[in-house]
Chain A
């Protein structure tokens, strides 16, 4: 059974700082890995999707990497802003079913 772990559970940083969120998983037989953002009272917003054959994806200030051999993914956020404050979830897909970590709650302090 796939297990997904996200560390840290919560993170507080000053505005402008670069940061890294970590995701580890136990089963490397995945099809893709997605990073989502969840704002309070709202649904999930997909940020980046990395196919199993890829090693990284970039979108604006976000960069996600995938290392299947070590069972790890990272989400790098450059020049953090208060609007980045949210819970970030990583999810691994095996076909259609997503298995989620419990998330990292990020607070960016102005």
Chain B
């Protein structure tokens, strides 16, 4: 079956513009995650969805960042008034974890990422 897909693969924008990044998880996966990989930095967690709900938004770096998920499937990460420090690769992952057990340990499957460059 198809893996996690993300679009666009590359996005170049000007400082101050808004951008939307899209993630299509593996069909049937209830959990969806967004991560960011900045140059010279490790991957950092941004937000986690279980179904359409986001029980953990703790990783979002500022209120310019928001995300939603509809129909328990596609998710959109929106960055408003982009800044140069937002330049990074944004990765999405999905898993079949229901999140109901503290022992939920399902593998997260990652998409290819969106490379965002803010000029």
Contact = CB atoms under 8 A, between A and B. Distances in A.
A31 B42 contact: no
B99 interface: yes
Contact of A44 (B31, B91, B99, B103): B91
B104 interface: yes
A51 B105 contact: yes
B107 interface: yes
Contacts of A51: 105
B94 to A, nearest CB: 11
A105 to B, nearest CB: 13
Nearest to B101: A95
Interface residues of B, number: 28
Given A97-B45, A101-B42, A103-B42, A44 B110 contact: yes
Contacts of A46: 107-110
Interface in B76-104: 91, 93, 95, 97, 99, 102-104
Contact of B33 (A49, A96, A102, A103): A96
Interface of A: 4, 31-32, 34, 36, 41-46, 49, 51, 89, 91, 93, 95-103
